[in-house]
């Protein structure tokens, strides 16, 4: 069964450093998402991406964050200058949504980001 993959599984970085989290969505899916989960808290939406542009973003997704689909398979989340509070599990998701036909969002296993 196709699945969303994410690399790395764990990333440790120093405060102020840039990190890039990588995702390979399911191949025929059109919508891509990033969510995050701070330890012990809810899963929170960050951004959705469709047709090579951001379709929606939350207030968490500020100027320090950016997303890119550099090629036909990868989807990346970049945090420009990490802060301690960016430490969280970051989940990528994808779906094959068509308007009027809600579809499941499939999640990757996550990247645990630790900012020291």
Partner 1 sequence: SQQGEEDPQALSIQEGENATMNCSYKTSINNLQWYRQNSGRGLVHLILIRSNEREKHSGRLRVTLDTSKKSSSLLITASRAADTASYFCATAEGYRGSQGNLIFGKGTKLSVKP
Binding site for partner 1 (CB under 8 A): 31, 33, 35, 41-45, 48, 50, 55-56, 58, 89, 91, 93, 95, 97, 99, 102-110, 112
| Residue 79 C-alpha from the chain's centroid | 11
To partner 1, the closest distance from the beta carbon of 81 in angstroms equals 25
To partner 1, the closest distance from the beta carbon of 36 in angstroms equals 11
To partner 1, the closest distance from the beta carbon of 93 in angstroms equals 8
To partner 1, the closest distance from the beta carbon of 109 in angstroms equals 4
CB nearer to partner 1: pick between 55 and 81:
55
CB nearer to partner 1: pick between 24 and 43:
43
Phi, psi of 2 (to 5 degrees): -60, 150
Please say whether the beta carbons of 90 and 38 come within 8 A.
Answer: no
CB nearer to partner 1: pick between 32 and 81:
32
**b (16+ CB within 10 A) / e for 51-77:** eeeeeebeebbeeebebebeeeeebeb
Please say whether the beta carbons of 91 and 107 come within 8 A.
Answer: yes
């Amino acid at each position: 069964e196709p699945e969303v993959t994410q690399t790395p599984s764990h990333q440790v970085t120093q405060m102020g450093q840039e990190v890039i989290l990588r995702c390979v969505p399911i191949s025929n899916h059109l919508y891509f998402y990033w969510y995050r989960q701070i330890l012990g808290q809810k899963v929170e939406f960050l951004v959705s991406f469709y047709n090579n542009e951001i379709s929606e973003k939350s207030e968490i997704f500020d100027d320090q964050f950016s997303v890119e689909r550099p090629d036909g398979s990868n989807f990346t989340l970049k945090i420009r200058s990490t802060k301690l509070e960016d430490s969280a599990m970051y989940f990528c998701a994808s779906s094959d949504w068509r308007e009027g036909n809600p579809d499941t969002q499939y999640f990757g296993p996550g990247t645990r980001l630790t900012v020291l």
